[in-house]
Amino acid sequence: MGATPVLAAALAGIPSGIQRQGVWAGRRQVFIRFAGAAETAQMYTADALARELGRALGRTVYHSVCVTGRDSFGNADFLAAALKQMPSGTQIMADTDGQRPEALALLHPYLTLIQVTIEPPVASPSLERVVETLRAASSLGLAHAVTIAGTDESSDADYLQIVDQVHTGSDATSIVIHPGPTAERGVLDKRWSTMMEHASARHRDLRLLARLSGPATMR
C-alpha cells in the first residue's frame, strides 16, 4: 500500500481581525486566508494549519474561524483534514464565491455557516453555480447566507436579479446587501428605500448594511 499523501495548500496567512461584511460583520475571527495569484504565500500542511489554529484559539477568545481568500473550496480535501481537528464547539464560517457547490458534500460537517459573496453585476453561469451552492447547503442542513458586495456602478436591477435567483436557490438564505463605497460613506438616499422595498417583496430575510473599514477589519 502507498503512503497517505501529505495535504498542503498555499496560504496568505492566518491573521486575526474583525469581519468587515456579511451576516457575521463585526465578529472577531481567525482567518484562514488562501493566497491569490499576486499575494505572498506560505505552504501549510493540514496538520500544521490545525496546530496554528489551535494555538490561536487557545490564547484568546474569538467568535469563529473564517475560511476566505482565492478559491478556498478548490482545496476541499486540505480544509477537511485541518478543520476536523478543531476543538469541539468551534464555529467555522466559509466565505466563498459559490462556484464549487460539490465541495460542500465533503466540508459541511465542519462548517457552521457558508457565506457566498457576490459583486454585482454577475454573469448568469456564475449565478447558477451560486444557486446550486445554496441548494446544496439547504439540503445538507447548513446555515447559508449571501453577501452582495455592491459597487458604485451596481444598478438596482443588478441587486434585484441576484435576490430573485438566491430566493429560487433557498428561501432560507440570509441576504446582506452592502451599497457601493460612495453610498456607504454618505447619506442613503430614497433610491435605497425603494430598492429595498422591491427586494423585500422577493425575499424575507434581507438587510442593507454598510461595510466596516479600517486596519482592524478583514475578509
The pLDDT of residue 98 is 97
Domain 8-218 has CATH 3.20.20.70: yes
Q: All 3 cell numbers of residue 211?
A: 461595510
pLDDT one-digit tens code per residue, 35-58: 987 788 899 999 999 999 999 999
Q: CB burial class (10 A; 0-12, 13-18, 19+) of residue 32?
A: buried
pLDDT of 2 strictly over 60: no
CA–CA distance, 26 with 75 (Å, rounded to integer): 27
- 183-208 pLDDT tens trace: 998 888 999 999 999 999 999 999 99
pTM of the model: 0.93
The sign of the torsion formed by the CA atoms of 187, 193, 194, 200 equals positive
Domain spans in the chain, listed from the N-terminal domain onward: 8-218
Mean confidence (pLDDT) of the chain: 94
Could you read off the pLDDT of 3-20 as tens digits, one per residue?
556 689 999 999 999 999
Give dist(CA 105, CA 170) in Å, integer: 17
Among 160, 150, 216, 159, CA closest to 184: 150
What the block records as the C-alpha cell of 63 is 467568535
